[in-house]
Chain A
Amino acid sequence: MGLSIRIRGGTPLRDEEFREIIKEIDSPRARYNMAAGEAYSRFFESLRRGEILGTYCPGCGLVHIPPKIYCPYCFRYLTKWVRASDEGRVVTAVVSYLSATLERLEKPEIIGIIRLDVPGYRFTSYRFPGILHRICGASEDDVKSQRIFDARVKARWAPEDRRIGSINDIECFEVMWR
């Protein structure tokens, strides 16, 4: 093989050498059927109907979206469900040029955290109902100039017959430039 194994420090390999020494290739089948549970089940059902639901904690006043049956901050059992609007503001956004497996995308994607409005409730900038999602109707420059921060967005829903009870029932959050 031509590589001398040095005990000091380890033996770095170049890419080609690495391929040469590969002994086993294994791809485990790791499949799980995860229970969504009470809270998420109801959340996704409501997405299918075009609604965004959250749970309210009377202890700290937070509305949890995505919803949970417990408030992690107060450690209380939550029973009050509230309906959020499908509008909100951009907390932060980025432009992704890479896919999940790190290949270059044909068309860059804008991703952000959207802070949702919940009529009748107010939140601080430290804790709020926020979700990760795609942002549409904005350009790369809107992101790079930071113009997109705090911009108003509204959910663009997938057509009703194509909603299955998934986060993708919302296609993206569209920026409403005024």
Chain B
Amino acid sequence: MKTNIYVKSRVAIVGAGMTLFRRRMLETPQELAWIAARRALDQAGLELRDIDCVVSGSAPDAFDGVHLKGEYYSEGAGAIRKPHVRVFVGGGTGVFVPIAAWWHVASGLCRRVLVVAEEKMSSAADPHPQAVFRHIWDPFTEKPLNPNLIWIFALEMHRYMHKCSVSKEDIALVAVKNKRNALDNPYAQAAANITVEDVLKSELLVYPVNRLDISPVSDGAAALVMVSEEWARRLTDTPVWVDGIGYTLDTSYWTNRELSFPVYLKNASEMAYRMAGIDRPAKEIDVAEPYDPFDYKELHHLEGLGLVPRCKAAEMTREGVTQRDGDLPICPSGGLLGVGNPIAAAGLMKVAEIFWQLRGEAGRRQVKKSVTTGLAQAWGDLMQVGTVVILRR
């Protein structure tokens, strides 16, 4: 492992918290943000007055039904008379928030940062939160075709299946694994004991996507406390270091690209690996939480992350390597498929999960092998964003 020579200071996570992820919650966006932030502060042993900067993330404003929603929920996230910035890279936001927080601390401008991601999708109730995705398309060349969100995933999934000769059965194994993992997650919305057959028999939405291939719509929030090295050592014996960050955005013209492999994720992960001094990710990453809004995405992302050779992720899953007791446990939390998908909060939840796994605090979800290096990843936009963080104990 080589040490990175450009980065001058180390940043650590010392606390994490989250709300339940559920289809509909009573709490307002501010309240959701507060619950998660309060819990993260509690684990870190800090109060809001100890925080000098706040970084938050949340996906489309249309969900909460407020324009400039970063301003709206900011007080729930602790941004009261403090520097606050809301970052946004679509679905990749959840893992991007800690990336932005990283340079808040590493630059020397802030020392104790509260990192919050919140999503309240249930507010966009009429007709259904998914309808918000009618407005993510190019307004001229795509929207007039009346696309629904599942089209783009289905198109990519089918291309991946075709190019890599992967069957729906192989892909369904991911949904089965993650939903089962989620049974041990007290925050989970969609935990279940299902079979591959259940997935294949569930409602066909846009072939090749069935209902159980998709993560649910959710409300929820998650938060972290990230601090400078000096503070990390003061606050805890087990800080978790953010040793690598990486992010990349591909062109919005997604119909001009080969979709079976996420090049943007390869770039993003290489950036993170380089910073963390990792040469052989497949060997050096002990546990990972790639983004799984659809089951095939876990496979797609494992390949993009270089954790498995191209087109080999399905085989690795079939062999049980990615189970909690396997050699490379993937999504031990239960992922989006099992825990829920309040977009930005889901990504941050993955970072929190790796944090807890590395500290041995994941309870019944704790993976069997001993872990020191973990990775969390999110994806977003029109098949464009890869955001990666690498954590180490």
Q: CB atoms of A and B under 8 A apart anywhere in the complex?
A: yes
A107 to B210, CA, bound (A): 18
B7 on interface, CB distance cutoff 8 Å: no
Min CB gap B89→A, angstroms: 17
* Tally of chain B residues near chain A (CB < 8 A): 55
Min CB gap A28→B, angstroms: 8
B69 on interface, CB distance cutoff 8 Å: no
Q: Are A168 and B158 in contact (CB under 8 A)?
A: no
Min CB gap A67→B, angstroms: 10
Cβ–Cβ < 8 Å partners of A177 in chain B:
none
| Contacts A131-B141, A168-B145; A102 near B127 (Cβ below 8 A) | yes
Q: Are B256 and A101 in contact (CB under 8 A)?
A: no
Q: Are B257 and A11 in contact (CB under 8 A)?
A: no
| Contacts A7-B35, A18-B122; A130 near B151 (Cβ below 8 A) | no
Interface residues of B in 193-233 (CB under 8 A from A): 204-209, 219-220
Q: Are A132 and B145 in contact (CB under 8 A)?
A: yes
Cβ–Cβ < 8 Å partners of B220 in chain A:
10
Cβ–Cβ < 8 Å partners of B207 in chain A:
94-97, 140, 143-144
B253 on interface, CB distance cutoff 8 Å: yes
Q: Are B253 and A92 in contact (CB under 8 A)?
A: no
Min CB gap A13→B, angstroms: 5
Min CB gap B268→A, angstroms: 18
Min CB gap B215→A, angstroms: 15
A7 to B26, CA, bound (A): 11
Interface residues of B in 149-185 (CB under 8 A from A): 150-151, 154-156, 158-159, 161-162
Given A18, A101, A126, which contacts B24 in the complex, CB threshold below 8 Å?
Answer: A18
A114 to B384, CA, bound (A): 19
Cβ–Cβ < 8 Å partners of B145 in chain A:
111, 132-134, 167-168
B27 on interface, CB distance cutoff 8 Å: yes
Question: Chain B 23-45 against A: per-residue CB contact (8 Å), 1 yes, 0 no?
Answer: 11111000010010000000000
B83 on interface, CB distance cutoff 8 Å: no
- Which residue of the partner chain A has the closest CB to B142? A132
Q: Are B151 and A126 in contact (CB under 8 A)?
A: no
Q: Are B256 and A64 in contact (CB under 8 A)?
A: yes
Cβ–Cβ < 8 Å partners of B146 in chain A:
99-100
Min CB gap A121→B, angstroms: 14
A111 to B145, CA, bound (A): 10
A40 on interface, CB distance cutoff 8 Å: yes
Q: Are B155 and A111 in contact (CB under 8 A)?
A: yes
Q: Are A11 and B27 in contact (CB under 8 A)?
A: yes
Q: Are A9 and B140 in contact (CB under 8 A)?
A: no
Q: Are A97 and B162 in contact (CB under 8 A)?
A: no
Q: Are B255 and A131 in contact (CB under 8 A)?
A: yes
- Which residue of the partner chain A has the closest CB to B256? A130
Given B20, B130, B159, B204, which contacts A9 in the complex, CB threshold below 8 Å?
Answer: B20
Given A10, A18, A27, A149, which contacts B20 in the complex, CB threshold below 8 Å?
Answer: A10
B147 on interface, CB distance cutoff 8 Å: yes
B22 on interface, CB distance cutoff 8 Å: yes
A126 to B256, CA, bound (A): 8
A34 to B187, CA, bound (A): 42
A3 to B154, CA, bound (A): 40
Q: Can you list 6 A-B contacts (CB < 8 A)?
A: A10-B219, A12-B26, A34-B140, A92-B156, A99-B146, A111-B151
Known: A96-B207, A113-B155. 9 other contacts (CB 8 A): A10-B20, A10-B32, A10-B220, A22-B125, A92-B156, A94-B208, A94-B209, A131-B141, A133-B145
